[in-house]
Chain A
Amino acid sequence: MSTVQASDFICILPQIILSGFAILVMVFEPFVPAARRVMLGWFALFAVASAGAALAWTSTLPGTAFGGSVEASFFSIFFMALFLLVAALCLLGSFDYLARDHVQHGEYYALILMATVGMCFMASSTELILVFLGLEISSISTYILAGFKRQDALSNESALKYFLLGSFATAFFLYGIAFVYGLSGTTNLTALAERIHAQSSPPIMLWVALLLMFIGLAFKVSTAPFHVWTPDVYQGAPAPVTAFLSVGPKAAAFAVMLRVFLVTFAGEGAVLFWLLWISAALTMIIGNLGALAQTNVKRMLAYSAIAHAGYVLVGLATGGEEGSASVMFYLLVYALMNVGAFLLIAHLAGTGEHWTNIEDFRGLGFERPGVAACLTALMLSLGGFPTTAGFLGKFYLFRAAVGAGLTGLTVIAVVTSVISVYYYLRLVVVMYMQEGTPQAPSAPMPWPLRVALAVCVAGIFLLGLFPGNVLTLAHLAAMPLP
């Protein structure tokens, strides 16, 4: 029997801290009067900060723990830092939103923390069953978060769709794990890679297992044709939750994809390559064309999120250190842009999120120039304009793809992202060039939200102009991948 040592616990210290604080928030919740519940939110933010400090400590002690089922590597640390950043930004954007819409409950903050724990395990685990548990922890938490406005019919509907399709997808992922286990006798990714590479001709069942796992993860990252739930769920969920679930679970599922498809199943190159190629092309086309027809901002950004998943899939199809590093860099950039955009819309939509149509934003550029400038910067970055991080992220992805000889896919990617400029700019045009006054009553922007937005916008320009350090980190993280 293997013994458990203190170093094992240090390896998962960030997750332990997050879970512990999440439980504490749940315990305190019934004892805190409703007027002071926002304190629980600050407590949760403190938890994220402590987990960040623990992560910094863990990063000095790389290695595996618990019999090789969890690892602390540059790869896992890069993703965990990303998840903590997303959680912190969403928490900052949620404090006043929850008070405004009368759903200020401590469970919200606990669920954000728990979802973050699940995502951290998805990125740091090298054992498929633990990956599955992480996936479920984050999924179940986000199902509840999507339906957090219990009285709101749209929020209910969003939670229901997310739940039904999400659990349908995890069943596929799990079935894939079962077949992998049956064929190789192990679910440890490192051991699995050795056994697969040792075989000269992999059995056909391995491809079936691969396909099942791909379907499960494709639902999570919402790639075509498994994207049908995305617009409804993103539109119905409370906007700060949409910010969280359009970025966190997606990045976590991409982390699993990178680890499982590029490392463990690297021998299955051809099958996997065409699978990724076709779904990348489909996703970019469907996402960008779908967004053109939308009149609701949240729904438009949902289609845009689908399209961005397509760009990331281009990087996955590219593979190699270059491809993986550009995927990681892009996920970070995408997180900043998308969280910023959804948090800003959460604020602008007003009480009960009544004003989410594109037309509702007309005249905003004159009425509230600062806010409009912020939203414009985010839209330009999403559209991939030079000097913003969105441009550099796409540039690295496409350059890696061309370098690997994926010219056809890159052409599709460039053409569709040119199309995407139309719908991002439409919002800007409505804000600055159409007469009228903004529909939603203009409440002053609360300062925690200002901080979160400042981080997002500053991050976009910093990464757009000086990507050097972060890009080096992404390359370091991608190094252990082939």
Chain B
Amino acid sequence: MLNSYGPIVIFFIIAAAFPIVTLWVMKFIRPKFIPTPEKVMPYECGITPESDARGRYTVRFYIVAILFVIFDVETIFLFPWAVQFQVLGLFGLVEMMVFLGILIVGYIWLWKRGALEWI
């Protein structure tokens, strides 16, 4: 019983040893790190960051995200239907069109109410 865990233990040891050994070896090979202002900047390509990355996002992003979540998740019902398309036949097709029709009505409503406008 315990024997069967042997390979896993060996695997863990190797996995842990690999980065340690690599970093230790590299310490002798790589050039010495001398921090200069250019080196410690977030983007090494030279673009100057404009503000903190943890700033606040406009609330408009949340609305787009909410709309995305709803329409994205509805596709979950399309997958089983697509897989069994032949079996479900015409009835399945009509059913799915009704479902999509309801979603499209929601989309029209969103559009007309201006939820997709960016102010």
Contact = CB atoms under 8 A, between A and B. Distances in A.
B91 A23 contact: no
Chain B binding surface SS class? helix
The 5 closest A-B pairs by CB, nearest first: A30-B112, A26-B109, A23-B105, A30-B113, A27-B105
A29 interface: yes
Interface of B: 87, 91, 102, 105-106, 108-109, 112-113
A26 B109 CA distance: 7
A23 B91 CA distance: 22
- Interface of A, secondary structure class, is helix
A4 interface: yes
A1 B105 contact: no
Interface residues of A, number: 9
Contacts, number: 17
B112 A31 contact: yes
A30 B109 contact: yes
Given A29-B109, A30-B109, A30-B112, A23 B87 contact: no
Contacts of B108: 27
B109 A4 contact: no
A27 B109 contact: yes
Interface in A8-67: 23, 26-27, 29-31
Contacts of A30: 109, 112-113
6 contacts: A26-B105, A26-B106, A27-B105, A27-B108, A29-B109, A31-B112
Interface of A: 1, 3-4, 23, 26-27, 29-31
A1 B91 CA distance: 12
A62 B72 CA distance: 39
A1 B87 contact: yes
Nearest to B106: A26
Contacts of A31: 112
Contacts of B87: 1
Nearest to B87: A1
A270 B105 CA distance: 50
A3 B90 CA distance: 12
Nearest to B110: A30
A7 B105 CA distance: 27
A23 B104 CA distance: 11
A269 B68 CA distance: 47
A351 B102 CA distance: 36
Contacts of A4: 91
B73 to A, nearest CB: 14
Given A1-B87, A26-B105, A27-B109, 9 more contacts: A3-B91, A4-B91, A23-B102, A23-B105, A29-B109, A30-B109, A30-B112, A30-B113, A31-B112
Contacts of A1: 87
Contacts of B109: 26-27, 29-30
